């Protein structure tokens, strides 16, 4: 599903590479935490998958796409197979919950009848049935993140990338969001989540890829946040 | 492509920056009015030229002596002048106009200006040989060949008058074109600015669009259409302005001008100038829009 082969990424403005010789292989349906301190390369890792960046060296494959070689006009096709969730939710404040989720389908040209059918389904999946006419500001942080997840998942992507999705939430709400991501993972969707949140990583016991100064220093199949050996 | 989605994006975009949009529309409109006036003057030059060239004559005015004595051009030097003119290959016809006839022509030409009529008397206006040329360009040769001849007081080359008139029209045309160009530049900058502001206020939307895999058409078409709609509104205003100028111009003024300069009618404005203005506005706004998006908005 995702394969990075000896990927190095150097930003023009920086002397130190953001990622250095990173090789990671993520299979279909896996749940992977990418952890590490700030500046360790987690975000760069996710951005490479989205083709927000291209690697300076090495290869990036996402499903069947050779991401770095993808012509610009085909990038949207790649991104339609990936859902994204962020720490700051990134909802459109002037649109309702329903409209926020529908927006993701509208802009890729899905017909109205599909939208009317699919959006309520996904809102039910994330536990927001009955809140489709609310505005984002009327929702709690956890609920807003559920809207964001619904939007990321509504087009049934092959994988879900989550960049610190619990970063703005309290522990209980974070736990709920993790349950939701787990449920999405059980539908066969690959989930890659970058996080700082030690307790979440420890409680989930999923694969952990740890980055430090742009290098992979650990890749455990059932890991915890800290070294426990 | 979902038309309703794009349409609603465009209309919110235009309303969001309403001051900017209005400024841009007005600048575009005024610039296009000037451009339209320029096009009208171009046409006026042609019409005026045709009008004059049709009846362009070289008038060989005769001396007072001949004017008084010879009322039907039967004695020399009038007869020989007339014969020589007729033999000239450039000449089509030659008609003798005596003082009485000349006075009638004068009265007709200045019938709206009684003061001029009071000042003039039949004796003050010289007799002339009215020479019609086969081709108007050859008037210079006639002037050269006959100015020094006996009995000739002055040769009036109609072509020169037309040339002077056409020259001043050209100056007018150039002024309107330069003016419209300067304003067009201002309009361009406003369009570019409008799109940048629009893109900035919608950066969250555009960011989400890119992430969920919207194609460039979806992310950028609303901005492009926004610029084009504003441009088109500007063009419509300019067309309305030009037409109402033509219709509302006091008819007395228009008639007065009509004796000198032929301006194209409203039909020409509506069916030739209007499409040009509309196309120019749409083309330029979409072009500027495209370039601005390329330069400032990441996809």
Q: What is the pLDDT of residues B71-109, one digit of tens each?
A: 777 777 888 888 888 888 878 888 888 888 888 888 877
B155 located within any domain = no
Has residue B262 got a pLDDT over 80? Answer: no
Q: Do B229 and B284 fall within a single domain?
A: yes
**Alpha-helix residue ranges (DSSP H) falling in B78-157:** 78-87, 99-109, 114-119, 139-146
DSSP string, B212-264: TT--HHHHHHHHHHHHHHHHHHHHHHHHHHHHHHHHHS-HHHHHHHHTT----
Which residue, B150, B185, B210, sits at the end of a domain? Answer: B150
Q: Do B108 and B176 fall within a single domain?
A: no
In the block, residue with structure tokens 């087009």: A155
Q: Do B93 and B176 fall within a single domain?
A: no
Q: What is the pLDDT of residues B183-193, one digit of tens each?
A: 888 888 888 88
Instruction: List CB contacts (< 8 A) between A70 and chain B.
Output: none
Domain containing B93 — which CATH number?
3.30.70.3040
The C-alpha atoms of residue A105 and residue A118 are separated, in whole angstroms, by: 9
Contacting residues for B211 by C-beta, under 8 A, at least 6 apart: A50, A79, A84
B59 located within any domain = no
- Following CA atoms B29, B33, B34, B35 in sequence, which dihedral angle do they give, to the nearest 10 degrees? 90
Contacting residues for B17 by C-beta, under 8 A, at least 6 apart: B194, B197, B198, B201
Q: Do B69 and B11 fall within a single domain?
A: no
DSSP string, A66-116: EGGG--GGGHHHHHTTEEEEETT----TTS-HHHHHHHHHHTTT--HHHHH
Q: Do B180 and B285 fall within a single domain?
A: yes
B156 located within any domain = no
Structure tokens at B250: 């006091």
Residue B298 has what pLDDT?
65
Structure tokens at B279: 């196309």
Q: Do B259 and B171 fall within a single domain?
A: yes
Task: State the pLDDT confidence band at B54, using cuts at 50, 70 and 90.
Answer: low
Q: Mean pLDDT across the stretch B224-241?
A: 92
Q: Do B210 and B267 fall within a single domain?
A: yes
What is the H or E stretch that residue A22 is in? strand A19-26
The C-alpha atoms of residue A32 and residue A219 are separated, in whole angstroms, by: 10
Q: Mean pLDDT across the stretch B158-183?
A: 83
Residue B214, chain A, CB below 8 Å: the answer is yes
Q: Mean pLDDT across the stretch B3-9?
A: 80
B56 located within any domain = no
Residue A138 has what pLDDT?
96
CB contact under 8 A, A72 and B219: no
CB contact under 8 A, A107 and B214: yes
B234 located within any domain = yes
Residue A107, chain B, CB below 8 Å: the answer is yes
Closest CA to A86 of A141, A164, A19, A24: A164
How many other C-beta atoms are found inside a 10 Å radius of the C-beta of residue B210?
A: 21
Chain-centre distance for alpha carbon B42: 4
Contacting residues for A46 by C-beta, under 8 A, at least 6 apart: A34, A161, A163, A192, A194
- Please give chain A's pLDDT, 229 residues, in tens: 899 999 999 998 888 899 999 999 999 999 999 999 988 999 999 999 999 999 999 999 999 899 989 998 899 999 999 999 999 999 999 899 999 999 999 999 899 999 999 999 999 999 999 999 999 999 999 999 999 999 999 999 999 999 999 999 999 999 999 999 999 999 999 999 999 888 899 988 999 999 999 999 999 888 788 754 4
Instruction: List CB contacts (< 8 A) between B204 and chain A.
Output: 90, 92
Q: Give the total number of structural domains in chain B.
A: 2
Has residue B142 got a pLDDT over 80? Answer: no
Task: State the pLDDT confidence band at B70, using cuts at 50, 70 and 90.
Answer: confident
Q: Do B255 and B203 fall within a single domain?
A: yes
Q: Do B226 and B259 fall within a single domain?
A: yes
> Scanning every residue of chain A, which has its alpha carbon at the shortest distance from the alpha carbon of B206?
A107
Please check whether residue A139 is in contact with residue A167, taking contact to mean a CB–CB distance below 8 angstroms: no
Instruction: List the domain range (segments joined by +) for residue B107.
Output: 64-150
Q: Taking a contact as any Cβ pair under 8 Å apart, which residues of chain A between 45 and 84 contact chain B?
A: 50, 72-73, 75-84
B57 located within any domain = no
DSSP string, A184-220: HHHTT-EEEEEE--HHHHHHH--EEEEEETTEEEEEE
Which residue, B128, B150, B172, sits at the end of a domain? Answer: B150
Residue B120 has what pLDDT?
76
Q: What is the pLDDT of residues B263-296, one digit of tens each?
A: 788 888 889 999 999 999 999 999 988 888 888 7
Q: Do B41 and B74 fall within a single domain?
A: no
Instruction: List CB contacts (< 8 A) between A78 and chain B.
Output: 213
Has residue B37 got a pLDDT over 60? Answer: yes
Instruction: List CB contacts (< 8 A) between A148 and chain B.
Output: none
Chain-centre distance for alpha carbon B44: 5
Instruction: Identify the three-state secondary structure at position B108.
Output: helix
Residue A104, chain B, CB below 8 Å: the answer is yes
Contacting residues for B76 by C-beta, under 8 A, at least 6 apart: none
Residue A227 has what pLDDT?
59
Instruction: List CB contacts (< 8 A) between B210 and chain A.
Output: 79
Residues in chain A: 229
Residue A229 has what pLDDT?
43
Residue B109 has what pLDDT?
76
Structure tokens at B33: 């009015």
- Domains within chain A, CATH numbers bracketed: 1-81+158-220 (3.40.50.300), 91-156 (no CATH)
Structure tokens at A139: 């929702």
The C-alpha atoms of residue A169 and residue A177 are separated, in whole angstroms, by: 9
ipTM of the complex: 0.86
Q: Do B112 and B190 fall within a single domain?
A: no
Q: Model pTM?
A: 0.72
Strongest mean pLDDT among A110-119, B11-20, B48-57, B256-265 = A110-119
């Amino acid at each position: 599903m995702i394969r990075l082969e000896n990927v190095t990424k150097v930003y023009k403005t920086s002397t130190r590479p953001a990622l250095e010789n990173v090789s990671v292989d993520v299979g279909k349906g896996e749940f992977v935490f990418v952890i590490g301190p700030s500046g360790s390369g987690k975000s760069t890792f996710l951005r490479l998958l989205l083709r927000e960046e291209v690697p300076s060296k090495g290869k990036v494959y996402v499903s069947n796409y050779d991401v770095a070689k993808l012509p610009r006009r085909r990038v949207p096709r790649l991104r339609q197979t990936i859902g994204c969730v962020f720490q700051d939710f990134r909802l459109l404040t002037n649109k309702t919950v329903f409209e926020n989720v529908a927006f993701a389908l509208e802009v890729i040209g899905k017909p109205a009848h599909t939208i009317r059918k699919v959006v309520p389904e996904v809102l039910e999946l994330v536990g927001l049935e009955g809140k489709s006419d609310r505005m984002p500001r009327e929702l709690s942080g956890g609920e807003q993140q559920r809207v964001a997840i619904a939007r990321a998942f509504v087009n049934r992507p092959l994988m879900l990338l989550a960049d610190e999705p619990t970063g703005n939430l309290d522990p209980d709400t974070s736990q709920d969001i993790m349950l939701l991501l787990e449920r999405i993972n059980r539908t066969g969707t690959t989930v890659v989540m970058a996080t700082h949140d030690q307790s979440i990583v420890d409680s989930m016991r999923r694969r952990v890829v740890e980055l430090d100064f742009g290098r992979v220093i650990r890749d455990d199949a059932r890991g915890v946040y800290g070294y426990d050996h | 492509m979902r038309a309703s989605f794009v349409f609603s994006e465009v209309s919110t975009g235009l309303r969001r920056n309403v001051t900017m949009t209005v400024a841009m529309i007005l600048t575009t409109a005024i610039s296009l009015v000037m451009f339209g006036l320029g096009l009208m003057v171009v046409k006026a030059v042609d019409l005026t030229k045709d009008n004059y060239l049709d009846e362009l004559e070289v008038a060989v005015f005769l001396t007072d002596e001949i004017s008084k004595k010879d009322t039907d051009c039967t004695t020399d030097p009038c007869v020989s002048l007339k014969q020589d003119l007729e033999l000239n290959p450039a000449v089509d016809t030659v008609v003798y106009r005596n003082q009485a006839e000349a006075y009638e022509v004068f009265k007709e030409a200045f019938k709206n200006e009684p003061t001029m009529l009071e000042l003039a008397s039949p004796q003050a206006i010289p007799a002339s040989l009215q020479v019609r040329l086969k081709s108007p360009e050859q008037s210079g040769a006639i002037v050269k060949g006959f100015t020094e001849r006996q009995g000739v007081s002055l040769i009036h080359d109609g072509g020169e008058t037309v040339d002077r008139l056409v020259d001043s029209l050209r100056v007018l045309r150039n002024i309107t074109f330069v003016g419209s160009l300067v304003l067009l530049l201002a309009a361009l900058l406003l369009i570019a600015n409008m799109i940048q502001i629009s893109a900035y206020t919608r950066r969250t939307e555009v960011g989400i669009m890119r992430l969920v895999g919207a194609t460039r058409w979806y992310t950028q078409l609303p901005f492009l259409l926004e610029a084009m709609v504003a441009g088109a509104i500007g063009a419509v205003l300019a067309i309305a302005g030009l037409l109402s100028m033509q219709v509302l111009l006091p008819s007395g003024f228009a008639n007065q001008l009509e004796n000198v300069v032929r301006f194209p009618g409203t039909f020409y404005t509506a069916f030739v100038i209007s499409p040009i203005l509309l196309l120019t506005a749409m083309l330029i706004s979409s072009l500027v829009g495209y370039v601005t998006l390329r330069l400032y908005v990441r996809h």
